[in-house]
Chains A and B, each alone.
Chain A
Amino acid sequence: MTLSYNSPLFFAAFLPLVAVIYQLTPKKFRWAVLLIADYGFFFMWSKFLLLYNVATTFMTYLFARKLSSMKKAPEGMDRKVFKKKKHRILVVSVLLNLAVLVVLKYTNFIGSSVTSLWGGSFTALTIAVPIGISYYTLQCISYLSDVSNKKIEAEQNFFKLALYTSFFPTILEGPITRFNELSADLFAGYSITADNLAVGYERIIWGLFKKMVIADHLAPVVTAIFRDHSDNGGLCLIGAVFCTIQLYMDFAGTIDIAIGAGKIFGITITENFRQPFFAKNAGDFWHRWHITLGTFFRDYIFYPVSLSKPIQNLTKHLTKKGHKLLARYLGPSIALLCVWLANGFWHGPYWTYVFYGIYYFVFMIIEMFAEKPFEAWCERHNLNVNGWGIRTFRFIKLFIIVIFGEMFFRASTFALGWKMFSNIFVSFNWKGCVSTLPYLGMDVWDYVTVSLAFIVVIIVSVLKEKKYPIRQKFEGMPLAARWGILYALIFAVILFGAYGPGYDAVAMMYAGF
């Protein structure tokens, strides 16, 4: 039995049960209730693969304590030698964490890629992968790094660290939390208040609305287009747009459920989305989409690579030689390439994901060089860079970048992605597209429902982007209006949600990464 966040078994049975037991337990031991719930949740998904999580946590715990104990160089030891030794321990601990991830998730990919180099064949191994390994491994790495950099103290209680690495609302799809952001709330044992309960469940309902009314309705159409209709460019374009909306609504909706579930226990989980489609360019987009993954790569790959000795030396060397522009951009570009390769590989063992990473790298490099000349050009032509016209241009440009990126991301192979992309330009059959679309899993009423729900989400996003205090305004509304909105959302999910006969259960998309 698996417990998806959008299953009634999770939000109407598991979550209330954990909340009741948590509340009845003395404050001192409430974190232990959460840990038991974590392991119960994990076990229901992955059975004894839970041991991987326990082992990784234990290894991280031991290394972190060792790193934490190395505060000062012992007498007689050179500071530099001591620092090197500490750094070496950190590197080993990080590599061990990554080794578990690589062996479990990437063995077949590496095997088939390497053997294909000399034309050999590779027999894929059946390797069971525990849930959330891509998420909790990054959390362990950030924890070790922060302990080593003295940003945080190592946790002395193994079980408390285990709670952090297996927290059930975030284990399936993140957000990728930092120990210093989460630990205080995790271990505090706050009492469940009516306020938190209400706010938590409101957020869960909003997440269910996004996932079940929008994303899950689009799922069969997207699947059908990517599987059977790659010849029709019109359908390919629609597939790319739908796939982008589906992915966003699915992921953001699931994150809403995770944040809501945490809120019930008084635990504030970091936000993972901030109206990404209002970004001004691809770089800004990634500051708003899967924020915690972006900040992880920034803090643990971009900065360390940028500030690493070889890059610093290279920059100095180029400056000396008079290549000022190159000196300014080469270091960050190399660091950026590392970030986007890591981003691609993190999503999974497929070349389409690697391409997806490189795709964004290319756009960000272009932006890095083009942004200033573009702003200067706007100024020369008396165009306001923050004006309506330029903002619309930026939105359209970003939307095109994102949908084509998602098209390659979603395609099962690079060849399919390329075929769909090129067919948009060489085989655009609008008539065939219109006649086929109603038979791909959504009827007219489904399109109306999804469109209306999508408009609701857009309105909320616009208000949020304009910093309109939605929450405060909502709380200031008369009781009847507040309840009316909540009932409308709940019944929209019940009546128009894509579940039951006629629908296959749609897995949470980012749980697979």
Chain B
Amino acid sequence: MGKNITLKKIVGFMAVFCLLFSVMNIPFYPFINDGYQYLSILRKSGQVADLDSDCLDVIFLGDSECWSSISPLQLLGEYGIASYNCSTSGQWAGDSLVMLNKILKNQKPSVVVLGANTLFNQVNLYKYMLSKMVPILHYHNVYSDDNKKGGDAAFLGANLSELVVPYTGSENYMENSVSAQPLEGLMQEKLNGIFQLCQDNGIQLIMISSPSALNWTQGKHDSIENWCTANSVDYIDYNEKSVLEKIAFDWSTDTRDGGDHVNLSGSKKVTSDIGNILKNKFSLKDHRGESEYSEWLEDYLTMRIYKNRRNK
């Protein structure tokens, strides 16, 4: 008898728990729209939301590869291109789409540059689905102050590092893995979403692969190239030998961690090249004479002077 009563109590406890749990989930459902890696998405999109409306012509999306290789301050200083690097660590295609949606609320860029490696960042499908069904378990840290931090705001979103850790492996790393690495269904769906969003807003989409001897492969290159050809999207792979030679990329001086991410020296080369392409291919306005951008230009000059002094 006693046992039955206790069992009833356990069932009752679980029933009330389920009810409370469901109610507690309600305030977290809206945050589903903030992406899977919502802390970094909110932090970065918050930085852009703080800028003047329609002040950016180019947006960079991607993971740490793109985050470390594109410097918007340099693009402004060298070419007058107003841009922001909205890449975040480990960003996957779904979050790139979320980020772009958020950016478009107060910006009307002409070009979106997508770092291709974001399409190969796996997300645990079960956890992803669970985060949508029971958001409290995934989004409970949403009020954390973490989303207000971000030292990269000073560099318009770029993650720059002077650290030099040379890559000592073979320069033919692209040849080591020739087997195709097809885009997974979910990634394909999110990529199409980004493409569609760009088309709907009259934005030109470009894809790039940052130099990464440890991360990039011929298989990935082939998949991206196939998709870009099929959709008439420009694709620049900075891992191709000819491209690396063109920008004079040096694996002994231009990487910060032994060949995975580029350092400041490497990012200068990549940024300079992409700036040249953007300037020549699209009629982007030169903002260097405009007062609204003078502060950023000062930042660029300070950074350059500081660097030159250090080099002396």
Binding site for B on A (CB under 8 A): 193-195, 197-198, 439, 443-446, 479, 483, 486-487, 490-491, 494-497, 500-503
Contact = CB atoms under 8 A, between A and B. Distances in A.
A228 to B, nearest CB: 15
Contact of A491 (B24, B138, B146): B24
A193 B10 CA distance: 11
A345 to B, nearest CB: 36
B16 A483 contact: yes
A194 B141 contact: no
Given A195-B6, A494-B137, A502-B144, 14 more contacts: A197-B10, A444-B145, A445-B143, A445-B145, A490-B17, A494-B24, A494-B136, A494-B140, A495-B24, A497-B140, A500-B140, A501-B36, A501-B39, A501-B141
7 contacts: A194-B10, A198-B10, A439-B149, A445-B144, A483-B13, A491-B20, A494-B24
Contacts of A443: 144-146
Given A487-B17, A491-B24, A501-B39, A194 B144 contact: no
Interface in B1-15: 3, 6-7, 9-10, 13
B38 A501 contact: yes
B37 interface: yes
B214 to A, nearest CB: 21
B6 to A, nearest CB: 4
B65 to A, nearest CB: 20
Given A490-B17, A491-B20, A500 B146 contact: no
Contacts of B7: 194
| Chain B contact residues: helix, strand, loop or mixed | helix
A501 B140 CA distance: 9
Nearest to B36: A501
A442 to B, nearest CB: 9
B145 A194 contact: no
Contacts of A195: 3, 6
Contacts of A501: 36-39, 138, 141
Nearest to B5: A194
Given A194-B9, A198-B10, A486-B13, A500 B144 contact: no
Nearest to A8: B137
A443 to B, nearest CB: 3
B185 to A, nearest CB: 24
A-B pairs with lowest CB-CB distance, top 5? A443-B145, A194-B6, A194-B7, A502-B39, A502-B141
Nearest to B127: A500
Contacts of B36: 501
B20 to A, nearest CB: 6
Contact of A500 (B20, B24, B137, B149): B137
Nearest to A194: B6
A198 B17 CA distance: 14
Interface of B: 3, 6-7, 9-10, 13, 16-17, 20-21, 24, 36-39, 136-141, 143-146, 149
Contacts of B16: 483, 487
B273 to A, nearest CB: 34
Contacts of B6: 193-195, 198
B136 A446 contact: no
B39 A495 contact: no
A446 B140 contact: no
Contacts of A490: 17
Nearest to A191: B3
A486 B20 CA distance: 12
Given A194-B9, A444-B145, A445-B143, A487 B137 contact: no
Given A491-B24, A500-B138, A502-B39, A446 B144 contact: yes
A302 B15 CA distance: 53
Contacts of A491: 20, 24
Contacts of B144: 443, 445-446, 502
A502 B146 contact: yes
Nearest to A197: B10
A479 B24 contact: no
A9 to B, nearest CB: 11
Nearest to B131: A500
A195 B7 CA distance: 8
A487 B37 CA distance: 28
A494 B146 CA distance: 18
A443 B275 CA distance: 38
A246 B124 CA distance: 29
Contacts of B141: 500-503
Contacts of B136: 494-495
Nearest to A495: B140
A356 B74 CA distance: 52
A446 B146 CA distance: 11
A437 to B, nearest CB: 13
A353 B10 CA distance: 45
Contacts of B139: 500
A444 B149 CA distance: 13
Nearest to A491: B24
Contacts of B13: 483, 486
A324 B10 CA distance: 64
B125 to A, nearest CB: 15
B27 to A, nearest CB: 11
A308 to B, nearest CB: 53
Nearest to A446: B144
